[in-house]
Amino acid sequence: MSLSTVAILVAIVLLTGYAVLIYNALVRLKHGVGKAWSNIDVLLRQRHEELPKLVETCRQYMQHERGTLEAVTAARSAVASAREQGDMAALGRAESGLRAGLGQLFALVENYPQLKANESFQHLQQRITGLENGIADRRELYNESVNLNNVRIEQFPDVLVARMFAFQAADLLQFSEAEKADVDLRQLFG
């Protein structure tokens, strides 16, 4: 074998090895996005199971707040539907609606001292608040995983391997502008 043939074979082996390293890194990032989503999904499911209990506890005390309770129930269904479909844009919108409904519900509880003092309500409120905080933390981790994946599949030379094996960009989980805005406490208690 000539020296040029050996050099070509070495170059092919090195390029193939480098492409395999890139491929494996992209696979790891793709699965990192899936894992981060699964972590959010667990909390969404737990909250989904707790919300009917909260609504029922509130319904017993809040006879005049049917619209608020129905809004929370409808928002819960919208979140579940978007979650099952994996539609991040719809999930972000539905989450914003649910959080607004819960905020309004918790604000209205101030008008019902017996409900506010109810042990079951207090437990559910703490549980849901804890789940909300967990969802926010895991959403940040998910979006970071998505960002790492999306940047990597667009960088050269990774983009060549990503296109060859049809790696796709993932969608960020974003909430509406109203969700990010400061809360107007006067409006909630007005």
Q: DSSP for 114-133?
A: HHHH-HHHHHHHHHHHHHHH
CATH number belonging to the domain at 17-189, selected among 1.10.10.10, 1.10.1740.10, 1.20.1440.20, 3.20.20.220: 1.20.1440.20
Domain ranges within the chain, ordered by starting residue = 17-189
pLDDT for 176: 66
Q: How far apart are CA 105 and CA 13, in angstroms?
A: 63
Q: Would you place residue 177 in the very low, low, confident or very high pLDDT band (cuts 50, 70, 90)?
A: low
Q: Which two three-digit tokens encode residue 50?
A: 């707790």
For the whole prediction, is pTM greater than 0.85?
A: no
CB neighbours (10 Å) of residue 9? 11
Could you report the per-residue pLDDT of 46-73, keeping only the tens digit for each?
998 888 888 888 877 777 777 888 888 8
Could you report the per-residue pLDDT of 92-107, keeping only the tens digit for each?
889 888 888 888 888 8
Q: Which two three-digit tokens encode residue 4?
A: 């040029």
CB neighbours (10 Å) of residue 16? 10
Q: How far apart are CA 104 and CA 68, in angstroms?
A: 7
Q: What is the dihedral of CA 137, 140, 141, 147, to 10 degrees?
A: 180
